[in-house]
Every structure is written in C-alpha cells, then in structure tokens.
C-alpha cells in the first residue's frame, strides 16, 4: 500500500518529461581545415525572413565572417568550393540541451559527442540545466579551440524551491539543481551565475509566485534571460500564462499549456489544487480524470487565447517533442525504480499507459494548433545527443510545423531571443560564418538536413 500510495503521489509524467536523450552518436574523425578565405560557388541560400531559398549566388567568407554575397567572379587566395545544386542554411541552434551529462560517461565521449553536434550542423546550443562550473569550463574549452563543439549559451543549475525534484541528479553532477527558497537566495545566486558566464537562468516547478516575481526582477537587473519549465504536467505554481505576464519569453516543454487550457469545470477544480497545502490524493484523482479525457480536456478557445498571448509578448515555446518517442518505456522504468520492483502490476501499467497516451495526444494537439496559429516555436531536444536535434525537427514536421518555421526555430528565433542576431541566426554580410551546406532541399523535407556536405564554423570548414 505504501508503495502504491507513493506511486500515486509522485507525478508519473513529471519524470517522463524530464528524461534526457541518450548519448549515442555517429563517430567522426574530422579535424578543422585552416582556411581563412572560402568561396562557396553557386549555392541557394535560406532566407530567414521570407522562409524561401534565394536563387544561386556565391558566398565569400573571410576571417570568420561572411564578407560578400552575390556573383563573385574570383576571390584571391580563397579555397573555392563548387556548391552547384546545394543549399546553405545558417548554423543550427539546439535550444534545449543538457551537455553536462556528457561529462559523466567517461572516456573520450565528451570530445566525440561535442564534435558530433558540429558535424550534424548544430553550431550553437542553449544549454538549460547543469552545474555552472562544468558548463562554464566546457564553454571556455570550446571557445578556446581545445574542444570542437557548439558555441554554448547556458543557464547553470535548475532553480527550484522546497524539496528538490532533481536532487538525485546532484549525486552525479553536484550543482545540477539548486534550491531558491527566499529572496536572499535569489539575490546571492543570480549575480554569481552571471559572473560565471550564464546568460540566462532555468526556473523549474514549485516556486512561490511572490518569490518568482522577485526572481524576474533580479534576473532583469543581472541581464539574465529566463527559461521557464513550469514543472509537473498539471498543478504548476507558476503556470506559463502567469510567467508570460511577468515577462518570461521562453517556455519549455509542450506539456506547459495543459493546465492553462483546461475546459472550465476542470480548470476550476484544478486551480483549487495548486500550492503546498493541496491534497495529493485529490490531485492524483483529478489528474487521472483529466488523463482519461485526453484531448477532450482541452478548450481550443483557451488554447488560441494562449497562442495570442504568446505572440503579443513575443514569446517562444520549445516543445521538446522528441521525448514523446519513448514516453511509455521511460515512465515504466521510472516507476519500477520508484517502487523498487522488477515488474509492475497490470492495473498500474494500464494507468501509466493511459497517462502517457493522454500526454502524447495533448502535446501533439498543442503543437498542431500553435503551428496553425503561427506561434513561434524553438527546436530543442532535451538531451545531449548530436543526432536528436534533427529527430526533433522531423517530429515537429510530422506535427504540422512547416519546414521554414522549423528552420527559423533553429536559427533566427533563438538568435533573436538571445540578443545575438546581429552576429548569428542568418546568412548575411558581416555575420559570423557559421553555415551548413546540404545536398538536398530541407524546405522539401526537413529530414534532408541529413545530407550535409560541408559545415563551416567560424569561417572554417569542419571535416567533409
Ligand atoms: Zn531539459
């Protein structure tokens, strides 16, 4: 009974949505070739503004920058690459990684995986949760050329209140999650993170709203952007609409809209069960009721309203749909670990499957509806797997997001959100020469991004 109670109280799906990707990746042996001037000849260029390819032109790269675009007859001392029939895409961002995980696997997997991101065209990441010392060191090693890897924009630890949901992760990665229980915690921690190179913070789960408001103010003073994961699938203390009203503009995981867009009767019951004093059994029972209803629990009008609010605020949703692919398996493993058993009783198994199915169904519905309403979404895998960024893009495509929007969600949107669009996010004269050259058109099928011919990072060709 004790075990079952524990099972009922622990929000099963929480664990599922926090799961990180595995770390399998193609091995690569590339070393950067040193060429300060490169002429890419006769290549179609993705225009982030129109969402279309420009007719073939030439791109001259000089000293790490895009020096010229047009019809360039000759360029002295440049390495020429004939790109006839090929396409140039800005170097991709993965907007939701946890690269600190790579330091726990040992051997040379850190080097291999980081390089794998680059060879897969991912030249920048938003890393949204890991020990600050590990992330700042990794970022410095990449920036200094000691490691080949994506440029890192990072948060440092997850910030939570009360009992740390991620406490266990601190055993392997001390500082993975940190408690902020008071204004004083916020006042001392945020400036310290900024000093260690964080350009944003990651807020998670049960944070008191007053404290959250204070955190937003301090973050703004420290020039830290906020990436908000509202936490459990339902019963969020700072639901995404509240966070948007407070000025947060990046919402993580596609489960986030659920509590905000419940139909009236469910929403009323749900909102009474938010906070530290709510009865866990009543919450569990409502969660089961909502999961049984699946997409029928959702008010499409409320969802459209939420989409309108996001657009008004210039906010982004980073769905991390990729984690849905093995939701059942992950949930079952988590519950086995929580219960300390090898097999799960059939009724519990059925309940898990019912909840994961509902989660998958509403997630896909949210992405489809947001795509129809042109709500901006970011591409993020929620892991540390160089191949998973493209998997996320394919899943977004399967769920109605256009290829042009997916490319924007991995290029200009994150560059704008981070305030680095003067340097990154599109192919334009003066910008950093980070680009990916592919043989097949990604606007016909986003999966064509696997046809990489050349990756140019900081103006240099990486591998071939
Ligand atoms: Zn994550």
Please write the tens of the pLDDT for every residue from 103-121: 998 889 999 999 999 999 9
Per-position DSSP letters for 263-284, written without gaps between them? -HHHHHHHHTT-STTS-HHHHH
**Distances in Å between the alpha carbon of 227 and those of 1, 24, 60, 126, 406?**
38, 26, 36, 10, 20
Confidence of residue 177 (pLDDT cuts 50, 70, 90): very high
- The C-alpha atoms of residue 21 and residue 382 are separated, in whole angstroms, by 6
Report how far ligand 1's centroid is from the alpha carbon of 96 (Å). 6
pLDDT reading at 261 higher than 80: yes
Q: Is the pLDDT of residue 197 over 60?
A: yes
Q: Within 13 A of 54's CA, how many CA atoms are on the CB side?
A: 20
d(CA 287, CA 31): 51
Mean pLDDT (whole number) for 285-292: 94
Residue 138 Cα, ligand 1 centroid: separation in angstroms?
18
Report d(CA 29, CA 153) in Å as an integer: 25
- Taking the C-alpha atoms of residue 378 and residue 162, their distance in angstroms, rounded to an integer, is 30
Which of 4-18, 84-98, 232-246, 405-419 shows the lowest mean pLDDT across its residues?
4-18
Percent of all residues in the chain with a pLDDT value above 70, rounded to a whole number: 92
- What is the average per-residue pLDDT within 276-303? 94
pLDDT band at 464 (very low <50, low <70, confident <90, very high): very low
Residue 232 Cα to ligand 1 midpoint, Å, equals: 13
Distance 448 CA to ligand 1 centre (A): 26
Tokens 């009783």, residue located: 345
Tell me if residue 315 falls in helix, strand or coil: coil
Asked if pLDDT for residue 25 goes beyond 70, the answer is no
Beta bridge partners of 316: 250
424 has pLDDT over 70: yes
What does the alpha-carbon distance between residue 263 and residue 265 come to, in Å, rounded to a whole number?
6
The whole-number pLDDT of residue 112 equals: 96
Dist. CA 220 → ligand 1 center (Å): 22
Q: Copy the structure tokens of residue 232.
A: 């459990």
Q: What is the pLDDT of residue 201?
A: 98
Query: Strand order in 52-62's β-sheet?
Result: 65-70, 52-62, 37-47, 79-90, 435-438, 452-457, 460-462
pLDDT grade for 209, boundaries at 50, 70 and 90:
very high
Q: Using the predicted structure, report yes or no on whether residue 4 has a pLDDT greater than 80.
A: no
Rg (alpha carbons) of the chain, rounded to whole number: 22
Q: How many CB atoms lie within 10 A of CB 449?
A: 24
Q: What pLDDT score does 450 carry?
A: 97
Phi-psi region of 195 (alpha: psi -120 to 50; beta: other; left: phi over 0): alpha
Q: What is the pLDDT of residue 20?
A: 31
pLDDT computed for residue 5 by the predictor: 33
Residue entry with tokens 């991912």 = 122
Q: What is the pLDDT of residue 275?
A: 84
Q: Is the Cβ–Cβ distance between 225 and 219 less than 8 Å?
A: yes
pLDDT at 35: 60
Note the pLDDT tens digit of each residue in 213-229.
Answer: 999 999 999 999 999 99
Q: Which residues surround ligand 1, an ion (CB under 5 A)?
A: 382
Q: Which of 213-222, 319-328, 430-439 is predicted with the least confidence, judged by mean pLDDT?
A: 319-328
d(CA 437, ligand 1 centre) in Å = 29
Of 16-30, 264-278, 294-308, 384-398, the range with the lowest mean pLDDT is 16-30
Place of tokens 């000093």: 195
Residue 43 β-bridge partners? 57, 86
The rounded mean pLDDT for the chain is: 91
Please tell me the predicted confidence (pLDDT) of residue 26.
34
CA 187, 192, 197, 198 dihedral sign is negative
| pLDDT value, residue 19 | 34
Per residue in 153-163, pLDDT tens? 999 999 999 88
Mean pLDDT of 274-283: 89
CA of residue 389 to ligand 1 center, whole Å: 13
> What distance in Å separates the CA atoms of residue 300 and residue 294, rounded to the nearest whole number?
13
Say which residue, 227 or 23, is predicted with more confidence. Answer: 227
Q: Which residue has the higher pLDDT, 170 or 11?
A: 170
User: Ligand 1 centre and the CA of 202: distance in Å?
Assistant: 9
Residue 263 clears pLDDT 80, i.e. is over it:
yes
Tell me the CA–centroid distance for residue 334 and ligand 1, in Å: 16
Q: 31: pLDDT confidence band, cut at 50, 70 and 90?
A: very low
- Angle of helix 183-195 versus helix 209-221 axis, rounded to 10: 30
The larger pLDDT score, comparing residue 281 to residue 326, is at 281
* Domains of the chain in sequence order: 2-19+92-425 (3.20.20.140)
329-370, pLDDT tens digit by residue? Answer: 888 887 887 788 888 888 888 888 999 999 999 999 999 999
Give 382 Cα–ligand 1 centroid separation in angstroms: 5
Q: How far is the CA of 33 from the centre of ligand 1 (A)?
A: 34
What is the 210 CA–ligand 1 centroid distance (Å)? 24
Rounded CA separation 366/382 (Å) = 18
Confidence of residue 232 (pLDDT cuts 50, 70, 90): confident
């Amino acid at each position: 009974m004790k075990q079952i109670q524990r099972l009922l109280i622990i929000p099963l799906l929480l664990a599922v949505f926090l799961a990180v990707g595995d770390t399998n990746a193609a091995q690569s042996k590339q070393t950067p070739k040193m060429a300060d001037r490169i002429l890419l000849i006769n290549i179609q260029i993705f225009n982030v503004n129109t969402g279309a390819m420009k007719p073939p032109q030439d791109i001259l790269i000089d000293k790490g920058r895009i020096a010229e675009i047009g019809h360039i007859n000759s360029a002295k001392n440049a390495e020429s690459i004939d790109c006839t029939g090929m396409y140039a895409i800005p170097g991709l961002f993965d907007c939701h990684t946890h690269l600190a995980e790579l330091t726990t696997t040992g051997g040379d997997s850190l080097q291999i995986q980081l390089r794998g991101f680059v060879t897969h065209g991912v030249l920048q990441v938003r890393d949204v949760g890991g020990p600050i010392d590990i992330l700042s060191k990794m970022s410095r090693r990449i920036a200094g050329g000691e490691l080949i890897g994506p440029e890192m924009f990072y948060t440092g630890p997850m910030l939570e209140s009360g009992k740390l949901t991620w406490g266990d992760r601190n055993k392997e990665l001390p500082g993975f999650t940190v408690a902020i229980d008071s204004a004083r915690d916020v006042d001392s921690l945020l400036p310290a993170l900024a000093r260690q190179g964080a350009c944003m913070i990651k807020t998670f789960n049960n944070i008191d709203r007053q404290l959250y408001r204070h955190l937003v103010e301090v973050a703004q003073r420290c020039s830290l952007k906020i990436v908000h994961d509202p936490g459990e699938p339902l019963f969020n203390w700072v639901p995404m609409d509240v966070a948007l009203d407070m000025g947060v503009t990046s919402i993580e995981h596609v489960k986030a809209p659920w509590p905000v867009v419940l139909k009236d009767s469910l929403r009323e019951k749900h909102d009474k069960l938010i906070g530290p004093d709510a009865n866990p059994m009543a919450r569990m029972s409502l969660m089961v009721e909502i999961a049984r209803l699946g997409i029928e629990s959702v008010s499409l009008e409320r969802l459209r309203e939420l989409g309108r609010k996001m657009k008004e605020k210039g906010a982004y949703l980073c769905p991390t749909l990729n984690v849905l692919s093995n939701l059942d398996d992950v949930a079952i493993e988590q519950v086995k670990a929580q219960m300390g058993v090898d097999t799960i009783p059939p009724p519990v198994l059925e309940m898990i499957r019912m909840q994961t199915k509902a989660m998958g169904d509403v997630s896909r519905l949210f992405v489809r509806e947001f795509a129809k309403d042109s709500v901006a979404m970011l591409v993020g895998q929620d892991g540390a797997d160089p191949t998973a960024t493209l998997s996320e893009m394919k899943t977004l495509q399967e769920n109605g997001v256009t290829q042009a929007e997916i490319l924007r969600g991995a290029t200009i949107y994150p560059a704008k959100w981070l305030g680095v669009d003067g340097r990154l996010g599109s192919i334009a004269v003066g910008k950093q020469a980070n680009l990916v050259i592919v043989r097949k058109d990604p606007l016909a099928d986003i999966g064509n991004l696997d046809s990489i011919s050349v990756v140019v990072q900081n103006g240099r060709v990486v591998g071939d």
